Structure 1
Amino acid sequence: MTIDTLLFDLDDTLLEYEQRSPDVLAASFDRVGVDSFFDIPAYHARYDEFLEAGLSVNDQRANCFAAIARENGYDEETGRAVAAAFAEVRDHSRVRFLPGASETLEALTGEHALGIVTNGAPEMQRAKMAALGVERYVDTIVFAGHDAPAKPNPEPFERALSELDSTPERALHVGNSLDTDVPGAKAAGLGAVWVPADPDETPDPTPDFAFETLHPLTERPWRMP
């Protein structure tokens, strides 16, 4: 296949927080003075329901925490207080590249058109990218859930390709999520790279490539017979 365009997810694909999310949530409950009534997986499972254009990430998180609180027998204001504490503890500039991420971006930039397609509020995601200089590598950024519907809707992928003057047949999307990245890319007609892949999991739909780190992308595996 002739591939000249690569789109990347951001969180847990190119970078991760230095602060562990469970630690941030635990500190948030402590600040409010309430027992923990949900965990990070429960938050992540619900977050996309509350993506809404025009809302800040803090407002989206507050709406999510309020709903989780109500469903667990707490009043919504308790959930919003935990969300406010979470926002105070979380530092979006304290991020680091995942293994192979910076090397991959450095190797591919210039030779390929690169873009970011991320579910997340622009102010939050830009702070992360600015901390690591990600934007110098890419030609477009689509904030799914704000510029377009959230992944796995195909529209954010289509928008990125349009801005890069590319087509699905010439593009791959690289992401970690089997719920948003792989099915979203496939729905838009792109090839899908699943990373970091779990060898014990059988993805559906099946990605075109699956790697445990980003390092193999520097070898352009799509060019190999």
Structure 2
Amino acid sequence: MAELVDTVLFDIDDTLCEYRRSGAELLALAFDREGIEPFFEVDEYYAQYDTFIETTDSVEVLRAECFAGIAEEHGRDPELGRAVASAYATERNHRNVRPLPGSREAVTSLSHDHRLGVVTNGPPDTQAKKLDEIGVADAFEVVIHAGYDAPAKPDPEPFHRALSALDATPDSTVHVGNSLASDVAGAQAAGLKAVWLSNGTDLCVDSDCVPEYTLDSLSDLTEHPWNPSVE
């Protein structure tokens, strides 16, 4: 008989919450704030993450190094990139995330009969603010910041650390996330069942990652899809 699920891990970004303004919008505002004609797009910023994530200890420093590196690649003064990064941070520091539909209700419901944790690819300071902003920080017994406390997802190590902290087993744990590549693949590599939040996206038939459960909304979590008999 399969072991009942008593522990649930969550991703944060685009699972529990989303940004009110996109990175592209924030970058445009940052260039405008500095009076600089835009010379790169936000995808170039995201592509630089892996270059600097191992050598920086906060998202602000990571962003500054990314922007400086991009500026240099475009033949600009790296300090110009750092100035844009500072303006970007100023814009982002306003209350900038909102809960995804059903996320707070799902976390509250699950907290009554499950142990809850977070495994997120993101820096501690930024991710802690997001959980505070959406009002669910106190529901989680452990938060593992993959890429900082442990290797980034889909490496199984951050999931193993969460299990150890919660004294949980893989067979009794599910992980909820929106990314097939990092959440589903990482959870399954660690021996957990994966709950994929599709957000209306169809599962690619050629995908190597097939989740055990698929949800259109976190509201569906209140029905405990992995333990059908639980009311």
TM-score of the superposed pair, with normalisation by structure 1: 0.90
Residue from 199, 220, 226 that aligns with 1:222? 226
Query: Residue 215 of structure 2: which of 211, 215, 218 is its match?
Result: 211
1:182 aligns with 2:184: yes
Amino acid at match of 2:134: L
The CA distance in 1 between the partners of 2:49 and 2:132, in whole Å, is 23
Separation (CA, whole Å) in 1 of partners of 2:52 and 2:33:
24
Amino acid paired to 1:20: S
Cα displacement (A) at 1:32: 2.8
Contiguous gaps of at least 5 residues in structure 1: none
Q: What SS does structure 2 have at the residue aligned with 1:51?
A: helix
Superposed displacement of residue 147, structure 1: 1.3
Aligned to 1:13, the other structure's residue is in SS state coil
Partner of 2:83: 81
Distance in 2 separating the partners of 1:150 and 1:192: 17
Counterpart-to-counterpart distance in 2, 1:188 and 1:49: 26
What is the rounded CA distance, in whole Å, between the counterparts of 1:210 and 1:46 in structure 2?
Answer: 31
**Which residue of 1 is the match for residue 167 of structure 2?**
165
Aligned partners of 1:113 and 1:164 also within 8 Å: yes
Q: Secondary structure at the match of 2:54?
A: coil
| Higher mean C-alpha deviation, range 69-78 or range 185-194 | 69-78
Q: Could you tell me how far apart the structure 2 residues matched to 1:136 and 1:76 are?
A: 40
Asked if residue 17 in structure 1 is aligned to residue 19 in structure 2, the reply is yes
Q: 1:10 and 1:210 mapped to 2: Cα distance?
A: 17
For 1:1-225, list aligned pairs within 5 A. Answer: 1=2, 2-52=4-54, 55-91=57-93, 93-197=95-199, 198-199=201-202, 201-202=204-205, 203-224=207-228
Measured at CA, do residues 74 and 193 of structure 1 come closer, stay the same or move farther in structure 2, by a change above 3 Å?
Answer: farther
Q: Which amino acid aligns with 2:193?
A: G
The count of residues paired between Structure 1 and Structure 2 equals: 225
Cα distance in 2 for residues equivalent to 1:74 and 1:14? 38
Q: Percent identity?
A: 49
Judge which range, 41-50 or 145-154, deviates more.
Answer: 41-50
Structure 2, gaps ≥5 residues long: none
Q: Report the Cα distance in structure 1 between the residues aligned to 2:211 and 2:48, rounded to whole angstroms.
A: 24
1:33 Cα offset (Å): 2.9
Once the two structures are TM-superposed, the CA of residue 70 in structure 1 deviates from its matched residue by 3.4
Aligned residues: CA RMSD: 2.1
| C-alpha distance in 2 between matches for 1:43 and 1:159 | 29
After TM superposition, give the deviation of residue 201 of structure 1 in Å.
3.3
Q: CA deviation at 1:49?
A: 4.0
